[in-house]
Structures are given as structure tokens and as C-alpha cells.
Structure 1
């Protein structure tokens, strides 16, 4: 009987302490990052910072990767915190602000590209470099965007791209005839990538195209992963390929 009573006492204590410990972890996570989101002043948007280290990544992956219902990630927050159009969270290892209304999105994008007050913080500079258009904000972003628009959307550039695309599409269609049976999704992706390589770096080598596509897939996997640079992770493989 004493052993039974002791076991019951331990179980009762655990039933009380475990929920408290979980609450304490979430509270500590909120206290650690909430002030950073507003620079230590004002109030933060509604939401939760999730768990230490993980944040809300499990919930994010559930809707974006496993159930393929990304809209429900936002709908869940609207139902819980109200249709404010802006929420706080902790994703990919960092505190973040999620905006999901046209007004907030316009304000955020304008701040990033006009005066640089807001930064996306994504993707990692380790993968794309600190001077890529995806990594810079404010005036540098406007300057790079202007050059890119001139290079790819001017009438002369569009005509050249259409000529290249025509040759790529005709070549792909001729190859599809000999294959007799194809997976349209895979073939279309391969054709699009081939066209991109021809437009950007002007090569058509099958061997080099295959290597470039493999590197590109690794890069994209790294961009969508947590920035944890340890062996075995997608980010580590992508960084290694970028360095090599």
C-alpha cells in the first residue's frame, strides 16, 4: 500500500507539474522574442511564439507539406485571434510577423523596397549571397530590380527570349514524340529549366544541364528548410554545394 500511495502521489504531482512546465516553456519563448518584433516599443500582434527551438514549425509543416492546405494555416489563426490580418509567430528558427491582408502586405513590401525599414530575413545569405536581389532591401533592392527589369522585360530582351523559348519547345516536342509516353509535369519542368539555362547562361550541354538541375533542386530544398547547418540536413547539403 505505501508503494501504491507513493505512485499515486508521483502521478498526481506529474499531472500538475507537466502542464505548468509546458506553459512555462511557451511563456519563456514569448518573453524572449516578443519585444524584438516591435523594437522594444509598442505592442506585438496577436499570435504565439510556439515552443523553444521549434516555434510553430510543426504546425507550419503540417499544413504546407503534409496536408497541402496552406490556407488553413492562416484560417486557424484568424479563428483563434480574430481577422486582424497580422500575426506573430516563430518559424524557420526566427521570430516572424505574418501579414495576410492587402493593406498590410502593401505596407510591408513598400517598406522593404523603398526605405529598407522592414527586412524579410529570408532566404539565408549563405545560400544566395549578401548582394542577391532576394537578400537586399531598400535602395540596393530598387537598383537591382531596375537592372533586372531592363534586362528581361525590354522589347529587345523579350524578343530574344521568345526566340530561345521557341527553339527549346520545338526540341522538347520532338523528343517527346520518340518517348511515346511521358509524364507531362516532369517534362514541362525539365523544358522550363533548360530554357532558363539557355537564357541566363547560354549552354545546352546535357551533362551540364543535369548537374545544374541537381544543384538547383538542392538549393531550393535548402531555401525551404530550417537554417540548421549540421550534416544530414537539407540546409547543410545546400550550403556545401553552394561553397563547392
Structure 2
């Protein structure tokens, strides 16, 4: 009798488990209708509300393997390139096929950016997604792409990187390389977009506040509750907003009175006018543009640069070949020349190949999100209107995206990493404190200890 009772209990528990496990699937089956649901790609809608978030976080956080998340989809459903799921509280189509990813990136008519709540912390008023993106993009991209434009920043970046490495090598204690690189890159991006007249104390405060903002991106718990990372990030964002508001007002007054010339990209946004000579961007729009751009301009590139120093230090055959190239370039330099030139950087063919391979192997942005504006059929599968497209691993070389949302700072990022590597390869070596340190992949792939290391200057 007891055996029968145990079997009944086990059967009941399994039945409840299976029913609850299918609730998400049942919900969308009813919501979409049987015919529409059957046209979805294969996959698993996961648990009610949570979806597949737990397995996603397990794969992408400390000790996890992001490839295992994709491999599970492939082995369970076949190589169809698209899979239904439920992530960040939303029904989601996960795309792993590079051609489908490319199509989605390029189709602004059907797919629009629609990031999770934790990513939207980089918007104050949500205006960035509503203003004329193309005109704003032109203003943003202008100072960061093109040989002629970038050549103007070589001297400044060269000084920043050389000084940074010199300071790191003088430290008596190990440094967290990721944060230190982020500080160097913040100096560069803030110089380009804010100018040189906002004051050292304000610049330092902004950098500190952005350190609280970054960890909240793709946060597991995007709630405004005391003690949570997201709560700290919201407070930091508010302070950043206030600082930028003050800077904009000061600059606007000075520019309108012609007390100073247009220097930075913030100045250009302030002075931008339409054909009727009406200002294009108010303070809120400028803050929305700069809030995310200042973050992206130093935070994401710092991850790439950290991995660049890690890989170049660990792969000695690559290090020596890169060093030969750098020494060859230096030998051809006139004795009167001080510092790098853009022409010398263009000669660094091997180093650029290394950087491209670095970006291929270390996917810095783990996800790109789009929302379908209407039902769309791709490869005989339907992505319903309102569903998110999430591309965790495109499988091809698209490190900066593609289409109208192509990263405007792609060439600047490569330039910064190139100059940093130039000085490091010629004059320094790195030793990690924890060579077997674990990796986490949220919000981007990094060493858990932020690459705790010592930088030593070569004799």
C-alpha cells in the first residue's frame, strides 16, 4: 500500500511538473492560434514568466560556457538556424545562422532595436530611439571614422596610452587591467565628445559614475530596489544626467554668445539646426545621445583591449612577430620624430590581423536585440509581430554589427587598441596574478578578477 502511495505521489508531482513546464507553450499557443504557433521555429518556451533565462544565465555567467547554450539548441532541434525561446521576460527568436542575422541587421523596415529593460538604463528619456537617427548618427560617426579625421587624434591617444602604461608599471601592487584600460579609453572618448573645457573634477566624477552604470547592463535583476546593482546604476545615471545638463547649458550660453568656437561633438549637437534654422536637439535629446555613447566609447572597447593584452602576452610566437613589425617601423622613423604617426599605424598589417582575429574569437557584445514590427517569414518560419530577435552568436565576422546600427566607433576602437599594443609590445610585459582565473560572459566576456596583473617595463 505504501509503495502504491509513493508511486501516486511521484506520478502526481511529475504530472504537475509537466503541466507547469508546458504553461508558457500553452499560453502562446492560445495567444497566437494553432496555425501561427506551428509556423514558429522549433525550440522551447521554458518556464512560465522565466522562460529559458536560468539556463541562459548559467551558460553566460561565471564558469559557464555560452557555446553550450547554442549547442543544446542545435542538438535538440537540428541546424535550422532559428529557435523559439523566452528570455528577459519576452518571447524570443534566437538566430544562429549568419545570413539570417545579416538580413535582420539590414532590415530596418521590419526589425527595430528593442533591448531589455536593463540595457535601456542607457537612455534617460527614450528619445534616442525616436529622434532622427540618421542625422544624429552622422554627427556621432563623423569624429570616429575615416583616415583623415582619425589622424587628428593620434597624438592625443598616443600620449594617453604611453602615459597609462608608464603609470601601471610604476604601481607597487597589481592592477585590475580592465578598469585601468577603461579609464584610458574614457579620457579619449570624453575628449572627443565633451571637449577639454568641462574640468578635470567633472571628468573624474563622470568616469566614477560610469563604473556604477556598466555592471547593470544585461542585469539579471533589473529592479530599482536598494542593494541591487540596477538600483546603484539608476542613481549613477541620474547624477550623470545632471552633470551633462549643466555642461550643455554652460556650453549653449557660451556658443550662442560667440564666446567660444565649436570644438567638441557636444558643441555640434548644441548648434545643429534644420533648414528653418530651428535647433535639432534639445538638452534631453543630447543627453540621451551622449549617455549611451560615452558608455559604449570606453566600456566595450576596454574588454577588447584587455583580451588583446592577454592573448599577445600568452602567445609568444605572435608577440615576437608583432614586435618585429613594430621595431621595423621604428627603424624607418626620422630621428627628429616624436611619437606615432597615422602613416606608421597604417603599416601595421600584422598587428591589424591580430586585432581582427581577436574580435572574431572574443565576441565582446554577447547579444543584439531586435523587435519585429510585423509578422515576418524567414526560411519558412514565422517571427510574430512584437517578438524579439536575439542573436547570441552570429557565427561570422560582424564584431561591430552591420547596417544603420553599425557601431560608429569601430575604427576608433581599433586605433586605440593598436596604439596601446604598439607601446606595450615594444616596452612592457604583463604577468597575471591568477592565470587560471574563470571567465564570465555578462555583460561581456571578461576575467572574473578583471585581469589582475603586474605590468613591468622592459630594460
In structure 1, the partner of 2:223 is: 229
Q: Distance in 1 between matches of 2:32 and 2:63?
A: 29
CA deviations 1:2-54 (Å, max 9, x no partner) are xxx4x65553332112222122122211233468799x846111111111232
In structure 2, the partner of 1:216 is: 210
Please, which of 55, 61, 73 is the counterpart of residue 57 of structure 2? 61
In structure 2, the partner of 1:147 is: 139
Checking the alignment, whether the CA contact within 8 Å between 1:37 and 1:96 is kept in structure 2 is: no
TM-score by length of 1: 0.78
Checking the alignment, whether the CA contact within 8 Å between 2:143 and 2:192 is kept in structure 1 is: no
Unaligned runs of 5+ in 2: 240-459
Checking the alignment, whether the CA contact within 8 Å between 1:226 and 1:235 is kept in structure 2 is: no
Q: Distance in 2 between matches of 1:226 and 1:149?
A: 32
* Farther off after superposition, 72-81 or 162-171: 162-171
Please, which of 187, 191, 203 is the counterpart of residue 184 of structure 2? 191
Please, which of 77, 80, 83 is the counterpart of residue 84 of structure 1? 80
**Structure with the largest fraction of helix:** 1
Task: Describe the shift of the 1:146–1:32 C-alpha distance in structure 2 as closer, same or farther (beyond 3 A).
Answer: farther
In structure 2, the partner of 1:28 is: 23
Q: Distance in 2 between matches of 1:233 and 1:22?
A: 31
Name the SS for the 2:114 alignment partner.
Answer: coil
Across the aligned residues of Structure 1 and Structure 2, the Cα RMSD in angstroms comes to: 3.1
Equivalent runs, 1:43-54 vs 2, <5 Å: 43-54=39-50
Q: Distance in 2 between matches of 1:56 and 1:50?
A: 5
Checking the alignment, whether the CA contact within 8 Å between 1:34 and 1:44 is kept in structure 2 is: no
Checking the alignment, whether the CA contact within 8 Å between 2:221 and 2:228 is kept in structure 1 is: no
Task: Describe the shift of the 1:8–1:37 C-alpha distance in structure 2 as closer, same or farther (beyond 3 A).
Answer: same
Please, which of 221, 235, 243 is the counterpart of residue 238 of structure 2? 243
Q: Distance in 2 between matches of 1:37 and 1:223?
A: 31
In structure 1, the partner of 2:11 is: 16
Checking the alignment, whether the CA contact within 8 Å between 1:92 and 1:225 is kept in structure 2 is: no
Shift of 1:98: 1.0
Shift of 1:184: 7.0
In structure 1, the partner of 2:156 is: 164
CA deviations 1:52-110 (Å, max 9, x no partner) are 23211111111111224212211111011101111111112212111111111011111
Q: Distance in 2 between matches of 1:35 and 1:197?
A: 51
* Farther off after superposition, 40-49 or 198-207: 198-207
Task: Describe the shift of the 1:44–1:154 C-alpha distance in structure 2 as closer, same or farther (beyond 3 A).
Answer: same
Equivalent runs, 1:70-81 vs 2, <5 Å: 70-81=66-77
TM-score by length of 2: 0.44
Unaligned runs of 5+ in 1: none
Checking the alignment, whether the CA contact within 8 Å between 1:168 and 1:191 is kept in structure 2 is: yes
* Farther off after superposition, 75-84 or 217-226: 217-226
Please, which of 127, 131, 134 is the counterpart of residue 127 of structure 2? 131
Q: Distance in 1 between matches of 2:200 and 2:135?
A: 35
**Structure with the largest fraction of strand:** 2
